[in-house]
Structure 1
Amino acid sequence: MAAGELLTDQDRQAVDEAIRKAEQLARFEFSVFVGTVQGDDPRAFATQLHNRLVAPSRSILLMVDPTARVIEVVTGREVRRHLTDAEVRLAVLEMRTAFAAGELAAGLKRGLAMLAEHARPQHTLHADS
């Protein structure tokens, strides 16, 4: 997680813990980038970051540029089987609300939790007849 001075050490630890919890729940890799977007296209920058991950097809990248007020979520092929665009938009809306209140770390934690909850594999019970 790149964060610079935007997050305190305590905030970074809390976000790292939220990442671990999200990964355990969803069984996908989560990455967070907080910093300045490079270039004119935030989505392209986020996609480049995502493509550099160890397992991009099983990864979710959350990129936030608080100064530019940009949030991008990039999901890998395997993740998209479980996580819809509408669910991603809900998580982004939740984060925007927290960020607007000046709660960067809390917004990241909420967004990670929502993405993980929606991305987790659904288990169905089979009744024996």
Structure 2
Amino acid sequence: MASGETFSPRERAEVERAVRIAGELSGLTFSTYVGHVDGDLRSFAAQAHAALPDPARSVMILVDPTARRMEILTGRDAGRVLSDDACRLVVLAMQSAFAVGDLVGGIVTGLQQLGEHARRPRTAHLDES
């Protein structure tokens, strides 16, 4: 998470926990960026996403609270399990929390929902002995 200075230690821990759980559920890598973005948000987000260690399997939530803008980016592999429609629903849920002043709650909700949408299917192993 970048620009973590905007959050208290407790809030930062909440977001980091949500990042970890979303990754465990889905097998993808999640990251967040919260802070001011000069210029085009989409271009900034694409550059930040491309700089991640494994951009193909990564999902990035970028939020510029002062400009009231946000972006969710998925890499090639992540996009196979997270549809544009699923991401749009997550954005709506996050915007609802942001509208009542809950920045951290909106980010945590977004991460939880993205992790659930991308959840790895459970496999049942049959013992054939």
Task: Name the TM-score, length of structure 2 as normaliser.
Answer: 0.91
The corresponding residue for 2:89 is 90
Listed as ranges, the gaps of 5+ residues in structure 1 are none
> How far 1:124 moved relative to its partner?
6.4
Secondary structure of the residue aligned to 1:81 is helix
Instruction: Give the Cα separation in 1 of the matches to 2:28 and 2:6.
Output: 26
What does 1:1-129 correspond to in 2, within 5 Å?
1-39=1-39, 41-123=40-122
After TM superposition, which residue ranges in structure 1, 4 or more long, deviate above 3 angstroms? 123-127
> How far 1:2 moved relative to its partner?
1.6
Instruction: Give the Cα separation in 2 of the matches to 1:79 and 1:102.
Output: 29
Alignment RMSD = 1.6
Secondary structure of the residue aligned to 2:115 is helix
Listed as ranges, the gaps of 5+ residues in structure 2 are none
Instruction: Give the Cα separation in 2 of the matches to 1:125 and 1:80.
Output: 25
Instruction: Give the Cα separation in 2 of the matches to 1:4 and 1:13.
Output: 10
Identity of aligned residues (%): 47
Q: How many residues align?
A: 126
Task: Name the TM-score, length of structure 1 as normaliser.
Answer: 0.91
